[in-house]
Chain A
Amino acid sequence: MTMDSAVVSAPAPPSPVAEGKAVADEAIAFNDVTVRFTTERGTVTALEKIAFSIKRGSFLTLLGPSGCGKSTLLRVIADLIQPSAGSATVLGVRPQAARKNRDIGFVFQDAALLPWRTALQNVALPLEIGGGRAPRGPRSPAELLELVGLGGWEQAYPHELSGGMRQRVAIARALVSGPKLLLMDEPFGALDEITRDRLNEELLHIWASTGTTIVFVTHSIYEAAFMAQEVLLLAARPGRVRELVRVGLPTPRKIALRETAEFVALAAHLRRVLESC
């Protein structure tokens, strides 16, 4: 209904490897990270000895059944949860340091916009935090709204926007301080399939045009396979790494890619691994 096909003109995707080599090579490295929660009913191990690493500029999807700790893993990267054991390195430093450098952007499942702010004011929020000393990305809030296809909606309040539009605002907000790492927690999980497909394509454009490393949580096999350079498959109870699958599909990708034999084979492989969890 309210979704327009926001075609984002994007340069060719940067070569992740070439860009990453310049600084520290790894965007994220987990070294046997374990997370336990203690509740009234006892201790639950959400993540058990998670170890993996991804290069800068990569697009990683976290895929697994509910209860496998995908969101917990994302929150360890964002310094929202501290590991009970093991250590995580984000952009070469501890997660806390990466957060304080404002190198991390986060997109929540239900947008989490502030309802008293217009779309433009919501996008500008990160620039106001930190006493005016907040880092500025290469694009202004207005340019970012344009980038996510919401030019003309600057003054709309969140309740005047559809679910897909709110999620676009949330993506623009996460990008405004020019983060090196974008974390997305099932960002399109609550959207209808058509809107989700469109936003998937657009997010790949944004990834290509910004060169940001993206970690994307999903429970859709197709979404995970379509978006990713790498898919991290997780098993549940306790959450542990099943397999890190490298995706060799060509970029830039269009939704029609899902009908190709390679894609079908990849999705089938992911499904088999998940079923064996």
Chain B
Amino acid sequence: MSEQATVLPMGAFVDDSAARAEFLAVKRRLLWRKRLLPLAAVLALLLIWWQSIEIFGIRPFIAPSPVAVGEVLVSRFDVLMENLLPTSIEAVLGFLLGNFAGIAIATAFVYSRTMEEAFFPIAVMINTIPVVAKAPILVLLLGNGMAPKIAIAALVCFFPTLVNMTRGLRDVSNEHVELMHILSATPREVFLKLRVYNALPYLFSALKIAASTAVIGAIVGEWIGSTTGIGALIISATYNFDSPLLYATIVVGSTFAALFFGVITMIERRVLKWHVTRQP
């Protein structure tokens, strides 16, 4: 907008480089503040953690010092990455599968009220079963490979996407529907030109939730009878009282989830350029 303002008959913008520079400097300062403050808080907490371990002489198998965790992160990096690989594949495939199913069924719901009324309560019931209870059922059904973990990750992604997508496809404004009617649009045109776009902001808030829950789903799946993966490593480290490895594994798992979330956020920013609530 700003480069347009100079050529357009807006009249309200005057080129005042000094004021503009100051405005931008203030904005930059606020941005850095927003970035540095959480970083400082994390460092402070790590310091408190480290010092408490030292001062109170807490033994390493109860809680490791952050230094020990850092050492494990470096020395056993290869082991950690080896175990992250299957978990990340399961999480990403489960994410794709679960969201695809959620979007497809939401579309079916919007086209057919009967479908929604018949199947939505079932979806709610499945969602009320906790992940830890779903996991053994799926392991029994799908064996011990990656399949049950992908299925669990997909299941935890599925529900938020189904609910949000259905709402987004349905919650179109009355006036937009009237506009489409006046234009004699076919149901297909109403869907592709109105409902799909209307649902995108809803979909992305579900995808952001799903990005982190898919990783949790895959990890929980690995708790039951698995030999590789972040989940399996968590279990074995716990049983071996190897708390530095346990903590390092958790750090790797959550870093991956955060990166996954970041990727979805980046895609959202590109796709939802037009969205009002988008933060620059």
Residues of A within 8 A of B (CB): 1-2, 4, 75, 78-80, 99-100, 102, 104-106, 108-110, 112, 114-117, 125-126, 128-131, 134, 152-153, 156-160
Contacts and interface: CB of A to CB of B under 8 A. Distances in A.
A176 B48 CA distance: 67
Given A114-B194, A116-B274, A130 B10 contact: no
Contacts of A115: 274-276
B185 A129 contact: yes
Interface in B231-280: 273-276
Nearest to B189: A129
Greatest chain A CB density within 10 A among B183, B186, B194 is at B183
Given A115-B274, A116-B274, A157-B274, A106 B176 contact: no
A78 B12 CA distance: 39
29 contacts: A2-B10, A4-B11, A78-B182, A80-B178, A80-B181, A99-B184, A100-B184, A102-B183, A106-B178, A108-B175, A112-B173, A112-B175, A112-B178, A112-B179, A114-B176, A114-B193, A114-B197, A116-B197, A117-B274, A129-B183, A129-B184, A129-B185, A129-B189, A129-B193, A130-B189, A134-B183, A153-B4, A158-B274, A160-B1
A128 B193 contact: yes
How extensive is the interface on chain B, given as a class? 20 to 34
Contacts of A153: 4, 8
B89 interface: no
Given A112-B176, A115-B274, A130 B184 contact: yes
Greatest chain A CB density within 10 A among B176, B179, B275, B276 is at B179
Given A1-B12, A4-B10, A130-B185, 5 more contacts: A112-B179, A115-B275, A129-B180, A134-B183, A159-B276
A84 B117 CA distance: 31
A152 B9 contact: yes
A4 B182 contact: no
Nearest to B275: A115
Contacts of B189: 129-130
A114 B184 CA distance: 17
Given A2-B10, A2-B12, A4-B9, A80 B274 contact: no
A110 B175 contact: yes
Contacts of B74: none
Chain B at the A interface: SS class:
loop
Interface string B161-194: 0000000000001011011111111100100011
Contacts of A75: 178
B7 interface: yes
Given A110-B175, A112-B176, A130 B1 contact: no
B63 to A, nearest CB: 50
Nearest to A173: B179
Interface in B34-88: none
Contact of B193 (A80, A106, A125): A125
A159 B175 contact: no
Given A2-B10, A126-B183, A130-B185, A156 B175 contact: no
A115 B10 CA distance: 22
Contacts of A112: 173, 175-176, 178-179
A54 to B, nearest CB: 19
Contacts of B7: 152
A156 B274 CA distance: 9
Contacts of A104: 182
Interface in B193-218: 193-194, 197, 200
Nearest to A127: B183
Greatest chain B CB density within 10 A among A102, A116, A159 is at A116
B205 to A, nearest CB: 16
Contacts of B275: 115-116
A270 to B, nearest CB: 28
A163 to B, nearest CB: 14
6 nearest A-B residue pairs (beta carbon): A112-B175, A4-B9, A129-B183, A159-B276, A116-B274, A116-B197
Greatest chain A CB density within 10 A among B178, B182, B185 is at B182
B183 A130 contact: yes
A148 B275 CA distance: 25
Contacts of A116: 197, 200, 274-275
